[in-house]
Every structure is written in structure tokens, then in C-alpha cells.
Amino acid sequence: MLFGLTTPRNPRLDLLKNVVLFKDLSMRDLAMVDSLMHERNYLADEVIFDEGEEGQGLFVVLTGRVKITLPANENTVLIELGAGAFFGEVALLDQSVRTAQARAVEDTKIVALFRTEFYSLLETHSAIASRISFQLARVLAARLRQAVLNTSHHQEVS
């Protein structure tokens, strides 16, 4: 605070601060990352990305809901995500194609961090990018572990 003036809070930063990928960032570092993100609005039932498209980056849901479905059967919902959730994160690591479809369930606002901006962040602010990368590795490891447990449980039941 300078001379009794306060800087207005950025509600988007407050939401991003609660996203696990960004939890170890200071508000200043988070503002740097936020400046690289691209905001997009989607109408209910609008496709965010489709199976088979090249992954360009990760998405964070700001408002609304997104469902991730299997390409062969849109009725098979893998997960439904709300505000603060993120998806498409593998695209930060490689250039492989999307293996599922993401679609807005209702009017939805997201921010995207594209691979090119993330790589730029790695070069210019490596400490920030490293903290994000570490959290990303932890999330991917947890998801892999859960997939293995689900598969082994399914095999036991069969």
C-alpha cells in the first residue's frame, strides 16, 4: 500500500492461485503467468478441442463446466470439471494429438496457457516454470497411479 492507495484485487489471479499447478507461485509470479494466458469463452455444448487435434496447451476453467469424453462415444464422460480445474496439460510436454474431446457443458470461460508461451517462460523465468513443472509432474504421477489402481481393480472384479 502506497499513501493509502490499494491496488485492486484481480479475481482471476485469486482463482488461479487455487489451481494446484500454480499453488507454489507468489502473486507476482502468478501475474507473470497470467499475462501469458489467453482467455476464451465457450457456449454450452461448444467443443473446446476434439480428439485427434494437436494439443497446443492446457486450459483452466474460470467459470462454467467442461466435460471430457471418449472420442468413440460422447456419452462416455470421463470427467466433468468446474471452476479451478485444469485439463489438456500433457500438451505442455509434447506435440501429440488429443485423445479425448473437451466440450463446454454450459456457458464457460477458460484461460489457456499454450506450449509456446510455456517454453518462453522456461527460458525467461525458469524458476517460475520449474515450480509449475514440478506440480505438473506430481499431478500426472497421481493420475497415472489412479489409472493403474482403477485398471487393477477392474481386472480383479472381472
Q: Does 18 map to a domain?
A: yes
Distance CA 24, CA 78 (A): 28
What is the total count of domains within the chain? Answer: 1
Helix, strand, coil abundance in the chain, percent, nearest 5: 40, 30, 30
Q: What is the mean pLDDT of residues 50-58?
A: 92
In the block, cell 494466458 appears at: 37
Identify the pLDDT of residue 32: 95
Q: Considering the domain boundaries, does residue 2 fall inside one? A: no
Distance CA 147, CA 83 (A): 23
pLDDT tens-digit series, residues 105-153: 999 999 999 999 999 999 999 999 999 999 999 999 998 898 788 776 5
The pLDDT confidence band at residue 154, using thresholds 50, 70 and 90, is low
Q: Is residue 3 part of a domain?
A: no
C-alpha 92/C-alpha 75 separation (Å) is 27
Sign of CA dihedral 60, 66, 72, 76: positive
Specify if 1 maps to a domain.
no
CATH number of the domain residue 109 falls in? 2.60.120.10
Residue 74 has pLDDT above 70, yes or no: no
In a domain, 4, yes or no: no
Higher pLDDT, 48 or 73: 48
pTM: 0.85
- Domain span at residue 139 reads 11-157
Residue 5 domain flag = no
